Every structure is written in structure tokens, then in C-alpha cells.
Structure 1
Amino acid sequence: MQPAVQEKFNSYPEHIRIILMEVRALMLAIIHDNHLGDVEETLKWEEPSYFVKGGSTVRLDWKPKYPEQYFVFFNCKTKLVDTFKELYSDTLEFRGNRAIVLHVNDPFPQSALRHCLELSLKYKAIRHLPLLGV
């Protein structure tokens, strides 16, 4: 992990850092399990950001303005979040066409989040398919 990214994770309250590190670990596992290649982990807009060749960037963050929520951001110029809404509107909460909103005190939605992250990390290969091939 780059020092700037580590610094950002260290700046979060401990309970948030633990949750966001869980999201990060899930993303890295998806990349590994699907042989998606090298991951670029950096800060974009001061948020931990993840990109693999052939995918769409995923960012994570928590904001003091919304202390009980954390966010997984996607490129708003893609059809990713619209597809996620079709698949998981009963399970996940969304902000516009750019983010999944998760709540600190809710159970971690591992299965749904894993699927959304996987679609984003494979986006360029599936973007032409209806519902991203789901």
C-alpha cells in the first residue's frame, strides 16, 4: 500500500478503518480470484482508489458529515450504478448514479457488494452487454 493511501486509512476513525479495510480486502480478493492483473492503488479526490486494466475505477470513503455511512464510488459516466439498482435495490442504498451507500451499523453486504465490485473491475469487457451480462 502506498504511504499516502495508508495515511488516508489511518486518518479514519478506527471502526471505519476496519470496515473500509474489509472492502479493500474484498476488492483485492476479487482481483486475485479473477486474475485481473495488477491493481493501481492510489488516492483520487483524496479517497482510496482502485483500478485494474480493463476495469472501471472504484473509490472508497467515509465523511465526517455522514458519520454513520461509508461509500463505494463508481464512475458516474458508466451504467454500473444503474445496473446495481436493477439487481440490488432491495439490498443496497444508492446515491445518484455514482455511489453505494453503506451503513456502519448494518450487516456487511458481502455477496451483493462483491458482485458489484466484480462488475466494476471487469467493466470494459462487459459494458456492451445488457445488464452487464448478468
Structure 2
Amino acid sequence: MVGPEHTLRQAARMMSARRVGSAVVIDPDSEGIGIMTERDVLNAIGAGLDCDVERTAAHLTWDVVYAGPDWTVEEAAAAMARGGFRHLVVLDGREVAGVISVRDLMRVWARQHSPTGV
């Protein structure tokens, strides 16, 4: 998780350190939960913006589709395909329970379709 006032460089460092492609952004001054992805950082760099000055709040997605903790893998995959995104924030009530990525879905699919189940 990162805050809306973190710089893009700080967010990128945290995501890199955890080897993830997204970070949940919680703004304590608002009701929303947003998501910052590696693509958001890449787009800012590509536009020539200064990653040490730009704040995550200006480069994240607030219009997030949330999954519930009881969603099936198929439901998560369908929502991601419909929305055209690679990360899905999982909420348990109002609390962030985690993030599902396309990589997570591929891992589950591969395990289910492997002859050895591994």
C-alpha cells in the first residue's frame, strides 16, 4: 500500500522491493481506495514527468472494480477480462484483503491443468 502523497519513485521502489506490479492507494482524507500500477508509472515517465516530484494521487485509478473474498477464480478472471485490467483489488467489507493479478490467475490455471497438479 502507498499513500496519495508518495512520489512516483517511492511507489515504484516499494512495488519493486515487493516484486509486485501494483499498489493499493488509500487516501485517509477520502472514502476511496485507488490502485497504482506499473503502467501508471511507465506512462508518467513516458510523458517526461519528474518521478521525484509527481505524487501517486495524480496518476492512479480511483474507478476500481473490487472483488469479494468469496469470488471464484473464474469470476475474477471474467471481471478482469471485461474491464481490461491486470489487477483486481479484493475487499472484505471495507478492508483491503489483497490484490489478484493476472499472474495469480495464470498460476492457478496452470496448476489446475497440469497433469501432476503442480
Answer 1 or 2: which has greater helix percent. Answer: 1
Computing the radius of gyration over CA atoms, which structure comes out larger, 1 or 2?
2
